[in-house]
Amino acid sequence: MKISPFKIGLVLVIVGMVWTAFIFDETEKKYDSIILKESNSFETKSEFFGADIGYFKLYMPEFSGEEIFVQILDPKENIIQEQMVQTKMSVAYFDFIEDGEYTIKITNIAKNSIDMQIEFGNTNSQKMYPSGILILVGAIVMMIISYLKIKNYNIEQPEENIS
């Protein structure tokens, strides 16, 4: 049984995707759920090491157009990112370059209480390079094989002088 290069490329992409998902699932994350009253703030902290990319995910199940203000603070309490969130679910990323305890500060600027779920953690993107290269190699193999098959594909034309 001969295995085609296209199938090998597909397997490489699938293995790389599963590997990446496993790495991301292993990351240390902090989950919180809170009902934030008008003009109140909520903070949660997480310990990050090295230089990498952090993320936060906010989900408001009963969203009806509220606005919240989000800040990410480094270990020295400097603001490294801030943004307004006006959607039911928001995911954002930030770079960190030093070890320490990073803080996410969420402020409700809406006129009513907001029920929200928060996920705050590290992406471990530095560990994803090998799996990313595997996905890239598999995708390139699939594109080259697809191109070669399409390039050599001929469509038969009907005869013009049919009587």
Taking only the tens place, the pLDDT of each residue in 68-104 is: 999 999 999 999 999 999 999 999 999 999 999 999 9
- Residue 23, judged by CB atoms within 10 A of its CB (0-12, 13-18, 19+), counts as middle
Using the predicted structure, report yes or no on whether residue 119 has a pLDDT greater than 60. Answer: yes
pLDDT of 150: 87
Give one DSSP letter per residue of 35-91, joined into a string.
EEPTT-EEEEEEEE-SSEEEEEEEE-TT-SS--EEEEEE-TTS-EEEEEEE-SSEEE
CA max distance for the chain: 88
Q: pLDDT (tens digit, 9 = 90+) per residue, 7-61? A: 999 999 999 999 999 998 888 889 999 998 888 999 999 999 888 999 999 999 9
Using the predicted structure, report yes or no on whether residue 163 has a pLDDT greater than 60. Answer: no
pLDDT of 159: 67
Using the predicted structure, report yes or no on whether residue 154 has a pLDDT greater than 90. Answer: no
**Taking residues 140-159, what's their average pLDDT?**
82
pLDDT of 63: 86
pLDDT of 64: 84
Q: In terms of pTM, does the model score above 0.95?
A: no
Kindly state the tokens that stand for 107.
């402020």
CB burial string 28-44: b at 16+ within 10 A, e below: ebeeeeeebeeeeebeb
- Residue 119, judged by CB atoms within 10 A of its CB (0-12, 13-18, 19+), counts as middle
State the pLDDT confidence band at 117, using cuts at 50, 70 and 90. Answer: very high
pLDDT of 70: 95
Distance CA 136, CA 149 (A): 20
Q: Measured at the alpha carbon of residue 44, what is the angle toward residues 20 and 84, in degrees to the nearest 5?
A: 80
Kindly state the tokens that stand for 125.
């993107």
Distance CA 75, CA 99 (A): 8
